[in-house]
A = this chain, B = another copy of it.
Amino acid sequence: MLPLILIIVGGLCAVAYGIVTISDVMKRDAGTQRMQEIAGAIAEGAQAYLKRQYLTIGIVGVVLFAALAAFLGIKVAVGFLIGAVLSGAAGFIGMNVSVRANVRTAQAASTSLGGGLEVAFKSGAVTGMLVAGLALLGVALYYLYLTRGAGLDPSSREVIDALVALGFGASLISIFARLGGGIFTKGADVGGDLVGKVEAGIPEDDPRNPATIADNVGDNVGDCAGMAADLFETYAVTVVATMVLAAIFFSGPTGSGREALEPMMLYPLAIGAACIITSIIGTFAVKLGANQSIMGALYKGLIAAGVLSIGAIAAVNFALFGSFSRTFTTSTGVTFSSAGLLGCAVIGLAITALIVVITEYYTGTNFRPVKSIADASVTGHGTNVIQGLAISLESTALPAIVIVAGIIATYALAGLFGIAIAVTAMLALAGFIVALDAFGPVTDNAGGIAEMAGLPKDVRRSTDALDAVGNTTKAVTKGYAIGSAGLGALVLFAAYTSDLNYFTANATDTQYRFFKGVTVDFSLSNPYVVVGLLLGGLIPYLFGGIAMTAVGRAAAAVVEEVRRQFREKPGIMEGRDRPDYGRAVDMLTRAAIKEMIVPSLLPVLSPIVLFFVIQAIAGKSQAFATVGAMLLGVIITGLYVAISMTSGGGAWDNAKKFIEDGHHGGKGSEAHKAAVTGDTVGDPYKDTAGPAVNPAIKITNIIALLLLAVLAHA
């Protein structure tokens, strides 16, 4: 009981940090009336977005809640509700802090760069800590209730199903928030530019353009709320899947069995709790040094959090397992030591570090990839895009090799469970990493506010410096998000196969009847496995294609709405009338949510439809094999599609920035025009299609797990 209480205390620390930091941020000076007016418009837009989004998700959620309650019982349905509500809460609170911190960052930056950095980073840290804290608390408290309150066996199907449903709740929010947010933000961005700059001839960030506020809202919607939901989901489903693996590996008559069950199920939660503490400490290490390097300041915090985490996880091992030399044997016959698990956790942290470094290489302005795109811009739009695509393809190689090396090393140390622990450790730093990401939209907004409010040039210089770093941290976090999602999905896949083994091994006439006589051949020489791999591989492609098209249509809807407002309220252009920001945002929200329905359904329905189609053609066993292979197929292409899109998009963005810094003729040159084209192409790549592939991968996997649970009840 004590470890579980300590874990909950860890989660509460994150929430406490959030509350204290929110009140600290809110106390800061919110600047001039003009600044507050602009920030107010952004906040108004954010409210309009959230209202509509949660209304839609709520409708879907109620239906799913009822379905889960009917098919799998009330405990499963409540698990789903917890996951959805907490993920929504993390995004909701985080975004609300973000839209208030932006103006305070702009104001603080007018005094000093360090001041601006502090406010922006702190507000990002609120979102980060809430993501990690609420995810941990949700799983830990519900586990506490199920095993202590309801008195269920920790390895029972009811506990496992309820936890998986909690992950599914998080997935639901994630796919909506990522995809809807991505379509919203890039629809506003592209559409606003088309109608404002091209048609009306007013500058970017001009408050007369009703879509400009939507653009600023979009930054928060995508990179703050969207990323928060994404990582909440990855965190929750990875912890849950690791617990499911522990339940399967340590509940059987063979292996270390019962004795190891509870510590192993708590281990991922304890790692999460320990790393929340180290992440909080890490936030205090973020201080601008004498060299005024913003990135350096952020890295100081990340390195502190990472290094401390090694010690903290070692302490967790000692506390839970008694020593480092204690060995365990799973029911599948794999033996590993406590030290081996610690090794896996350290490898997880190392993967995080390497992915951060690699992504910075591919998207930072100091290195070959971005410079090569900038160079190619000199010869025109076409060569810019060609080089950007080349870099986007190339950028997948090193992350893939790091992930593969991690799989090999952790599997050697502790089998499948070792891989799961590595991902858990990787995600345990989510609090800090999300802080880095949520920092981005705040500084981006701060820059916009400074521009619109006409603050002095040197303020703008400070916010620009913050904004440039924000671009890099956004890209870095996306690399981390997809890397961890890919590895997390592998753990989910392991849970699928282990679950399937469990059901088929224990199928009788009274229990798991559906699985009687099922023998699944997951071998690559089974053509149905190839079919599953190919169809799984298709999902990220089709999903990405639809998402990119959706951005185009949402942008067209923005153009229509802005034209209408200009036509009906001629005073807007003369500054006499205030544009209806809320209506533009609400319209875009509706467009975004309408556009995301088909792509969201794709990963949700694919495994279900595939299962029943193949069952009809070739029977249950092949249907299970095909769906299992689909889960891996979606990881394989999904990893490459997502990395190439997010890194490529980041590189295009910073190639433009590099030119704007005075290279190749600077702003207004032909090279700059070409770089703007590349940046526009990169926008939906890196902010819509690419990041939305993460939840698509995970939701496919979690739906398959739920499908098993439903069939087991049938």
Contact = CB atoms under 8 A, between A and B. Distances in A.
Interface of A: 190, 194, 198, 372, 376, 379-383, 385-387, 389-397, 400-401, 403-404, 407-408, 411-412, 416, 419, 490, 493-494, 497, 522-525, 527-531, 533-535, 537-538, 541-542, 544-546, 548-549, 551-552, 555, 617-618, 628-629, 632-633, 636-637, 639-640, 644, 676-677, 679-681, 684-685, 689
Nearest to A486: B534
A126 B82 CA distance: 68
A529 B535 contact: no
Given A390-B552, A408-B531, A549-B390, A640 B637 contact: yes
A384 to B, nearest CB: 9
A458 to B, nearest CB: 32
A383 B636 contact: no
Given A419-B527, A617-B408, A681 B393 contact: no
Contacts of A494: 525
Tell me if A's interface is mostly helix, strand, loop or mixed: helix
Given A390-B548, A391-B545, A382 B636 contact: no
A348 to B, nearest CB: 15
B390 A632 contact: no
A677 B640 contact: no
A387 B190 CA distance: 13
Nearest to A376: B552
Given A389-B681, A534-B636, 18 more contacts: A381-B381, A381-B680, A382-B676, A386-B548, A386-B681, A389-B685, A390-B552, A403-B534, A404-B534, A408-B617, A412-B618, A490-B530, A522-B523, A523-B524, A524-B524, A534-B639, A636-B637, A637-B640
A601 to B, nearest CB: 15
Contacts of A403: 534
Nearest to A524: B522
Contact of A636 (B393, B404, B537, B680): B537
Given A548-B390, A632-B530, A681-B385, A644 B541 contact: yes
A538 to B, nearest CB: 5
Contacts of A528: 408, 411
Contacts of A644: 541
Nearest to A494: B525
A226 to B, nearest CB: 19
Q: Counting chain B CB atoms within 10 Å of each CB, which of A390, A544, A555 scores highest?
A: A390
